[in-house]
C-alpha cells in the first residue's frame, strides 16, 4: 500500500506534460530506490529536469531515469482495439497516425 506522500509524489510526476508512465522501485525496507519515467513530447529534456528536481525533493537518495517514447499507448477501447501502441502521434491532430 502506498503512503499518502508517495501518492502525492506519483501524482506530481504524472501531471508533468508528456509523462506517460511512472515506475517506482522500492528497497526491501519499503524506501523508494528508484524512479523511471516514460516521457512523450516535443521537449522531453525539460520534463526530465523538472522530474529529477521533484524526485530529489521527495526522495533525495533515489535514482531517477527517464525514457523517451516515440509512440503513444492506445487508450482502452480506442480505435486501435487489440493493439499495444498507436504509432507516432500527429503533432497536428495529437492522434495516433497508425496502430501496430
Domain that holds residue 86: 71-100
Q: Give the mean pLDDT per block of 10 residues along the chain (100 residues).
A: 87 90 90 89 84 92 83 54 53 52
Same domain, 39 and 14: yes
Same domain, 20 and 48: yes
Same domain, 62 and 93: no
**What is the per-residue pLDDT for 43?**
80
Backbone dihedral region for residue 14 (phi beyond 0: left; psi -120 to 50: alpha; all else: beta): alpha
Q: What is the pTM of this model?
A: 0.67
**What is the per-residue pLDDT for 2?**
75
CATH label of the domain that carries residue 14: 3.30.300.30
**What is the per-residue pLDDT for 57?**
94
**What is the per-residue pLDDT for 38?**
87
Q: What is the DSSP string of 39-91?
A: E-SS-HHHHHHHHHHHHHHH-TT-EEEEEE-SS-PPPTTSTTTT-S---SBPT
Amino acid at each position: 500500500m502506498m503512503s499518502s506522500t508517495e501518492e502525492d509524489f506519483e501524482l506530481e510526476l504524472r501531471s508533468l506534460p508528456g509523462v506517460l508512465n511512472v515506475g517506482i522501485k522500492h528497497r526491501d525496507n519499503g524506501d523508494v530506490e528508484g524512479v523511471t519515467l516514460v516521457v512523450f513530447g516535443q521537449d522531453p529534456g525539460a520534463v526530465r529536469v523538472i522530474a529529477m528536481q521533484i524526485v530529489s525533493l521527495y526522495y533525495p537518495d533515489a535514482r531517477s531515469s527517464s525514457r523517451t517514447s516515440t509512440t503513444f499507448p492506445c487508450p482502452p477501447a480506442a480505435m486501435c482495439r487489440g493493439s499495444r501502441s498507436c504509432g507516432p502521434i500527429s503533432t497536428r491532430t495529437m492522434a495516433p497516425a497508425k496502430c501496430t
